[in-house]
């Protein structure tokens, strides 16, 4: 009777091993296709190209244990072997057979079926015999007794050990086995089955015998690799500068070794960036770090609307009547609808980076000319002084000084390089001394950009505005009477530094400019269709009042002062 039971168990074990070999992918057939090239964008998307000479399984197909999660419509696979043609790509969950070191009593016993051992139970009883089996239900057996369409199964392991002793075959509870002594050779590795998401490239070899290896590849766009540009600008004090560009590369996608990495200035439009491709199987995109957020800000964006050339001091508005952009932060932004740029690429060879690692690498360096400029921007409604702190009361004089317009020392660069400057942090040096850090904005080839060094404390500014005349009922629109107010403003600027400075002063006022002294460049933008708005300073904007801009460009000798005057008028109710 015992012999019959043993024969049945051995037969079941053989059938299970045979079924496992037929339905699982052997470990040797699984491989990761190496990354050949990456095109990395600043917003965190990467165009990834895998290619390699890969092993094939018994059917001539390439089975990969790496499954990408591309955005919809960007996954493409190919076969470069002339003997084969790519027929289909299948992503799915399959059982795989994996060999690993035995780490428990159960696993060491499973790895040594047929070995002679001495087993000691918790009670201290010892048994000498040959390991016959550690029984388990095969996947086919479980699938046969399971409801239809419930999917593939993994083997169901029991808790029984069959040990053949001199008295017969003993069924032992594995939980009671305390230790094992091998009376001969033994193995330390076992094989288990588990589910893996696999990518299978089905190859059609025609009438030929499938080769053991095939040259295949795949390409896709996925979020997970990002580069952050950083500039360093070294000034020599004589109008010459060296600019260095380095890239911080953040990899949260996949390992790559000796790959070619293309760092792109510019962000293309990915219409389905928030929709995963079905080939990825994942229900959601992988959770990435804060470096890949797209709602954090505008500074490192390549969107043209966020990077249009700005006037000195941020004086020019992007649209009529809209306020200047807020202070930027370091978050990325994908180019919006209607915003596009030409793409410029820096290529770096032989880059190796594992998933989760970060690296900085030098990209390029330039020799440029620069010019010192001093800029002053006076907004139309003045600056709002900071609120007094209860613990540190400020006098009215201190608050007024803090709110007064200030001259900013900048260096003006002309982009004579082959690439545009991209939006990035920039660190300024005078020789080996750090001067400041600023943000350089997108600057096309041939364009100019200003980098702020800091407030020119030796060039103070005094602003005086006064009302000259007020004419009631100067005009009537739709039954509403408007009063005409005439204003005069004066900016007094003194140069206490030891050298002459080139000043660019931009002042904006609401209304029509009548005159400027000295003569200045005057332009205006109509604030059309806006309701009348009067802020705390009493300045209104309405369809009657344009937004006027006055620009003076002067040279101021050391120890000298200049008065910049303007007269303007506006309507109010």
Q: Going residue by residue through the chain (573 aa), what tens digit of pLDDT does each one get?
A: 444 434 434 444 444 334 333 444 444 445 688 999 999 998 899 999 999 999 999 899 999 988 899 999 999 999 999 999 999 999 988 888 888 899 999 999 999 999 999 999 999 999 999 999 999 888 888 888 888 888 888 888 889 999 999 999 999 999 999 999 999 999 999 888 888 888 999 999 998 899 999 999 999 999 999 999 999 999 998 999 999 999 999 999 999 999 999 999 876 788 888 888 888 886 555 667 777 766 544 444 443 323 333 333 333 323 333 344 443 343 333 232 223 346 788 899 999 999 999 999 999 999 999 999 999 999 987 544 455 555 555 555 555 556 679 999 999 999 999 888 989 999 999 989 999 999 999 899 899 999 999 999 999 999 999 999 999 999 888 888 889 999 999 999 999 999 999 999 999 998 899 999 999 999 987 554 444 444 444 555 556 788 899 999 999 999 999 999 999 999 988
- Token digits of residue 430: 């005078």
Residues, the chain: 573
The predicted model scores a pTM of 0.71
Nearest to 416 by CA among 378, 384, 435, 443: 443
Q: Which residues contact 125 (CB under 8 A, 6 or more apart)?
A: none
Distance of CA 477 to the CA centre of its chain: 53
Q: Look at residue 139 in the predicted model and tell me its pLDDT.
A: 86
Q: Which domains does the chain have, with CATH numbers?
A: 2-25+103-187 (2.30.30.520), 223-361 (no CATH), 368-572 (no CATH)
Round to whole Å and give the CA distance between 361 and 377.
38
The per-residue pLDDT for 213 is: 93
Q: What is the pLDDT of residue 331?
A: 34
Return the pLDDT at 404.
Answer: 77
As beta bridge partners, residue 182 has 117
Mapped onto helix, strand or coil, the DSSP state of residue 307 is helix
* H or E segment and range at residue 12: helix 2-23
Which stretches within 375-437 are classed as H helix?
A: 396-403
Report the alpha-carbon distance of residue 396 to residue 387 in Å, rounded.
11
Determine the pLDDT at residue 370: 94
State residue 286's pLDDT score: 61
155: which DSSP letter?
Answer: -
**Whole-Å CA distances, 317 to 305, 312, 527:** 11, 11, 11
């Amino acid at each position: 009777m015992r012999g019959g039971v043993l024969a049945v168990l051995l037969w079941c074990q053989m059938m299970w091993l045979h079924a496992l070999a037929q339905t699982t992918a052997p470990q040797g057939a699984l491989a990761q296709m190496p990354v050949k090239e990456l095109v990395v964008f600043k917003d965190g998307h990467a165009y990834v190209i895998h290619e390699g000479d890969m092993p094939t399984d018994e059917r001539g197909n390439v089975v990969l244990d790496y499954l990408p999660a591309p955005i919809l419509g960007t996954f493409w696979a190919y076969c470069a072997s002339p003997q084969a043609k790519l027929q289909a790509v299948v992503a799915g969950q399959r059982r795989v057979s994996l060999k690993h070191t035995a780490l428990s009593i159960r696993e060491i016993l499973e790895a040594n079926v047929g070995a002679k051992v001495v087993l000691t139970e918790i009670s201290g009883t010892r048994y000498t015999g040959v390991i016959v089996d550690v029984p388990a239900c095969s996947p086919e057996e479980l699938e046969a007794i399971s409801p239809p369409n419930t999917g593939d199964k993994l083997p169901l392991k029991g808790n029984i050990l069959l040990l053949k002793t001199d008295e017969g075959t003993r069924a032992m509870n594995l939980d009671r086995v305390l230790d094992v002594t091998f009376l001969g050779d033994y193995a330390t590795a076992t094989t288990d089955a588990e589910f893996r998401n696999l990518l299978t490239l089905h190859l059609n070899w025609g009438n030929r015998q499938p080769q053991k290896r095939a040259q295949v590849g795949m390409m896709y766009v996925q979020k997970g690799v990002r580069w952050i540009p950083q500039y360093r600008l070294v000034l020599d004090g004589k109008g010459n500068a060296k600019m260095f560009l380095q890239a911080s590369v953040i990899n949260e996608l996949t390992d790559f070794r000796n790959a070619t990495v293309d760092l792109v200035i510019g962000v293309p439009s990915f219409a389905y960036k928030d929709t995963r491709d079905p080939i990825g199987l994942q229900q959601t995109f992988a959770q990435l770090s804060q470096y890949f957020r797209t709602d954090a800000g505008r500074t490192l964006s390549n969107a043209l609307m966020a990077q249009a050339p700005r006037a000195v001091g941020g004086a020019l508005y992007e649209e009529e009547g809209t306020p200047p952009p807020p202070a930027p932060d370091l978050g990325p932004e994908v180019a919006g609808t209607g915003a596009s740029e030409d793409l410029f690429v820096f290529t770096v060879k032989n880059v190796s980076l594992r998933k989760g690692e970060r690296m900085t690498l030098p990209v390029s360096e330039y020799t440029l000319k620069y010019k010192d400029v001093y800029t002053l921007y006076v907004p139309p409604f003045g600056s709002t002084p900071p609120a007094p702190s209860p613990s540190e009361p400020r006098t009215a004089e201190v608050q007024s000084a803090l709110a007064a317009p200030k001259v900013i020392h900048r260096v003006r660069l002309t982009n004579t390089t082959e690439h545009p400057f991209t939006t990035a942090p920039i660190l300024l040096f005078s020789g080996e001394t750090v001067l400041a850090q600023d943000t350089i904005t997108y600057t096309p080839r041939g364009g100019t950009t200003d980098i702020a060094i800091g407030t020119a404390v030796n060039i103070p500014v005094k602003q005086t505005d006064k009302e000259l005349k007020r004419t009631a009922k100067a005009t009537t629109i739709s039954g509403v009477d408007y009063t005409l107010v005439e204003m005069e403003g004066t900016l007094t600027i003194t140069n206490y530094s030891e050298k002459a400075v080139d000043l660019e002063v931009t002042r904006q006022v609401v209304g029509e400019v009548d005159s400027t002294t000295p003569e200045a460049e005057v332009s205006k933008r109509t604030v059309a269709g806006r309701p009348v708005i009067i802020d705390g300073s009493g300045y209104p904007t309405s369809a009657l009042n344009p937004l006027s801009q006055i620009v003076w460009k002067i040279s101021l000798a050391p120890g000298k002062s200049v008065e910049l005057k303007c007269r303007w008028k506006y309507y109010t109710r």
